[in-house]
Amino acid sequence: MQALSQRRATLLFAVVLILSIAIAACAPNPSAGVLSPELGAKLVAEAANAEVEVVPTPEPLAIADMTEEQITAGLPPDFAAALAQAHPENGEKLATANGCIGCHSLDPSVQMTGPSWMDAGDHAARRVPGESPAFYLYTSITSPNAFVVDGFPQNIMPQNFSDILSEQDIADLVSYLLSQHE
């Protein structure tokens, strides 16, 4: 009787041991790739025995991180000279005197005919890939239809600012808009 229950206990122990080994063998491998957008690339690289390099998403361009040359790249030389000695405070006055602020507001929650000028410098850096923010703003004022901002109509912004404003006035306006950034 005693011997029988001992044999049973041994058998039970053996069954539990085998089951544990089997369960452990089926458990997921913790070093295997976690489901992620990079998993495919990781598996390919691992198969090729290569180092896995995850490229970080680039930060959006921002005026605060750009050099003077990057901000003003591509400008016509005359205009670049005017911008170098521009006065943003005068640009702000010109924006009122010329009715810009009738269509552009610094407050993005105020719906106006034109895009908000909040962080206008940063937006200008991102609108057209390869265009510097100063070049984009200069072009936006002198030929507004060269690039039409998504969600806004073309031909609404007056097309004649380059006729009625001096180059220095436009440079002052651009320097004022460039000063609007995070």
DSSP code at position 63: G
Whose Cβ is closer to ligand HEC: residue 80's or residue 103's? 103
Instruction: Build a one-symbol-per-residue string for 121-140: x at contacts with ligand HEC by CB under 6 A, - elsewhere.
Output: --x---x---------x--x
Residues 6+ apart with CB under 8 A from 69: none
Site string for ligand HEC, 70-109 (x = CB under 6 A): -------------------------x--xxx-xxx-----
Cβ at position 68, least distance to ligand HEC in Å = 20
Out of 119, 158, 168, 179, the residue judged to bind ligand HEC by CB under 6 A: 158
Q: Please, which residue, 41 or 118, has the CB nearer to ligand HEC?
A: 118
User: Which range binds ligand HEC by CB under 6 A, 14-22, 34-42, 53-61, 154-162?
Assistant: 154-162
* Shortest spacing between CB 158 and ligand HEC, in angstroms: 6
DSSP 86: -
- Pick 79 or 161: Cβ nearer ligand HEC: 161
Residue 45 has a CB neighbour count (10 Å cut-off) of 14
**How many residues contact ligand HEC, by CB under 6 A?**
27
Report CA-CA distances (Å) from 160 to 74, 98, 106.
22, 12, 23
Residue 166, token pair as written in the block: 């001096």
| Cα–Cα distance measured from residue 106 to residue 84, given in angstroms and rounded to the nearest whole number | 24
Choosing from 83, 92, 114, 175, the residue that interacts with ligand HEC (CB under 6 A) is 114
Contacts for 114-120: CB closer than 8 Å, 24+ residues apart: 114/152, 114/156, 114/157, 115/149, 115/152, 117/177, 117/180, 118/180, 119/180, 119/181, 119/182, 120/177, 120/178, 120/180, 120/181
Which residue ranges make up the site for ligand HEC (CB under 6 A)? 95, 98-100, 102-104, 113-115, 123, 127, 137, 140-141, 144, 148-149, 152-154, 156-158, 161, 173, 177
